[in-house]
Amino acid sequence: MPRSVTRSAQFLRWRSTAWPGVCVLLASLLFPTTTAHPQHLRPLLRAPVWVYNDWSAYDELSDEVPLNEALAMRELDEILRLSKAGVHFDYYMMDAFWYDPDGGYRTWRRSDWPDGPDRWIAACEIAGIKPGIWLSTNTLTSMRPAPEWQSSLNAAGTAMALYSGGFLGDFISVLNYWYGRGIRMFKLDFADLSAAAKGDEGRLPPQEVRRRNARALHDALRAFRREHPDVVLVAFNGFVGDIESAAAELNPFNTQWLDVFDSLYAGDPRPSDSPQMDLWRAIDIYSDDMVRHFAQEGVPLDRVDSTAFMVGNTGTNYFRKTSAWRGSLLLMVARGGWINTVHGNLEFLSEDDARWFARVQALYAPLQGSGRTRRFGGNPGSPWPYGFGSVATDGALYAVVNPAQGVRTLRMPRLSSTQEPNIDGRVLFHDADFIPALSGDTIKLGPGELALVGFGRYNSPENDLGVEADIRIPKSIELLPAHFRDVTGHAGHIAIETMITPPASGDLRIILQQRDPDGSVVRSFSRETMGKFFRIRASQGDAPLPVEIRYDTRIWSGLSWGVGELRHDQIAPGKPIHIELSSAETDPAIHLDGRVYSVQYEADR
């Protein structure tokens, strides 16, 4: 679930520069640096699992859709419907706000669960699905402290220390209580390792408070796992450092958390700072980038939960419903994580969708289980193509993405010494319009394009997964000369403008990006839709021209760019076009960059 609905651009800029270094220091104090034994990083699970999580079917933070028993049981029925088409789930995670604010995590919210969770738990067990529940680790999230927690409260009354007082012992009792009721997965969220017990704020250095909290929780969870070796624990906000900005150079945390957690989450899906015509592809790229950060910090890909796949119609998932869901699902499994989490409204998936979903699960199941997934190519946040490859003894699959505003070529490397050369391959899936050109181990991709390539046993028509019709990729793109200058007289707005002569053919793609004085991108947040915040206007003479945008939705996580396209049949040939780009950001230090491209699509739109 998202941490907050509003953030300031100033805080984001500070966090992306100073905060990573602070967190590296804190991480080194939490756990001494040691040479990890190989067993330390191996999965605690025996095999990859699939988890349904009902968050984003409801959303009580950035939306007003509540969680209740009727919604939970409806989604369980949908799981059973999808299973008839071959879709497999191992766990059903009940996310936040199931609990009574005064119940100390032992009772459910009575207004929405008048008979408690018994019917839901029993129905999961009958269906062969293991139930799980969300818990805030030590932060009071829409709760009041239980009597046993009072001795651990911090001075602000917002969180409990884990190293002192009665909270941690009672929290472990909560885990044991629900384990006894049949719960087999626990999602621990909102860990505040800086929470000091009253009186310790000035007595103990902040680093010592964090070290004590981390040690106490780590030891308690390790003991809990020893008693219940079949339990699954997943770590969310508060455990893994900065998961809110892919611009951060590091995601600082210590991999010793992998002693007790099956996976570390890589942040809720949000748009990358790499501008894309399609918002959904920008979100794919963000999650790819975060997984890359985690891998660079020493977390094996199979221990990362990218938490990137959501269908639904709430603020959490930007009201996407099922837009471009196929590419999102493919990338989730291609990243190699052993916790495959599906969020949201399963009723939005049709019977045909379910069959496609089941094919992807079956295709990747042996590859995920082998743990032989590698990342390659550029960083997803850069303008260079990249990918995730998974290899078996007799074949390999490569999910490749080109985040650039240009046609790019990517080589798919051999992933193991025993792998056959990547000579004879097949494109199994790609976005609409641009047909990827495959030559041996090299593929040419259009701007913003995703493709799946199979070699060896996977080079077969029976593995074809079709085309992502929701995302169309131009067959060519060319940067046009356009000199932007500042516009004065826009009260409360930053604006730039240019005048260009339209090319003889093709559409125009217009990009704005928001930056601070040192050139770093800056995200802005608005309670309005972002199409009202970042405006792209075009006109010829006194006549406005229609600009198509796909980012005009409420984006709780902020946005640093806007992209729009102007169709050729709307343009009078040879007549100059005036383009104005503006932002509702009021910080005078922030400026806008503008670019204009000529793009050609395969067919008329």
CATH of the domain at 483: 2.60.40.3230
Same domain, 413 and 533: no
Q: Which domain holds residue 491?
A: 477-600
- Both 148 and 174 in one domain: the answer is yes
Q: Which of 216, 237, 258 is the last residue of a domain?
A: 237
Report whether pLDDT(183) > 70: yes
Residues 150 and 54 in one domain: yes
Decide which of 473, 496, 516 is a domain's last residue: 473
Assign residue 86 the CATH number of its domain: 3.20.20.80
Q: 102 with 220, same domain?
A: yes
In a domain, 280, yes or no: no
**337 within some domain:** no
- Whether residue 106 is contained in a domain is answered as yes
Residue 100, C-beta contacts closer than 8 angstroms, at least 6 positions apart:
107, 108, 109, 110
The Cα–Cα gap between 415 and 373 comes to 8
539-592 tens-digit pLDDT: 999 999 999 999 999 999 999 999 999 999 999 998 999 999 999 998 889 999
Domain count, the chain: 3
pLDDT greater than 80 at residue 28: no
CATH number at residue 425: 2.60.40.1180
Please report which confidence band the pLDDT of residue 491 belongs to, taking 50, 70 and 90 as the band edges.
low
Q: Which of 175, 171, 159, 135 is nearest to 210 (CA)?
A: 159
Q: Are residues 572 and 431 in the same domain?
A: no
Render pLDDT for 454-467 as a digit per residue (tens, 0 to 9). Answer: 999 999 999 999 99
pLDDT band at 39 (very low <50, low <70, confident <90, very high): low
Judge if 467 and 500 occupy the same domain.
Answer: no
| Whether residue 87 sits in one domain with residue 178 | yes
- Domain membership of residue 307 (yes or no) is no
Last residue of a domain, one of 473, 494, 510: 473
The reply to whether 417 and 487 lie within a common domain is: no
Whether residue 27 lies inside any domain: the answer is no
Look at residue 11 in the predicted model and tell me its pLDDT: 32
Is residue 401 located within the same domain as residue 498?
Answer: no
Give me the chain's average pLDDT, please. Answer: 90
Give residue 246's region: left, alpha or beta (phi > 0; psi -120 to 50): alpha
Measured in whole angstroms, how far is the alpha carbon of residue 504 from the centre of its chain?
40
Model confidence, pTM: 0.90
- Statement to judge: residues 458 and 496 lie in one domain: no
Residue-wise pLDDT tens digits, 109-139: 999 999 999 999 999 999 999 999 999 999 9
Judgement on whether residues 118 and 217 belong to the same structural domain of the protein:
yes
Helices (H), 248-350: 279-296, 325-334
- Say what the pLDDT of residue 420 is: 87
Reported as half-sphere exposure (CB side, CA atoms, 13 A), residue 409 has a value of: 7
Kindly state whether residues 468 and 520 are assigned to the same domain.
no
Q: Which residues of 330-350 are buried (b: 16+ CB within 10 A; e: fewer)?
A: bbbbbbbbbbbbbbbbbebbe
Q: Is residue 228 part of a domain?
A: yes
Taking 80 as the threshold, does the pLDDT of residue 265 lie above it? yes
Cross-strand pairs, 543: 540
The two structure tokens encoding residue 465: 């997964």
93 located within any domain: yes
In a domain, 324, yes or no: no
Q: Tokens 């989450």: give the residue.
A: 265
Structure-token pair, residue 457: 């046993």
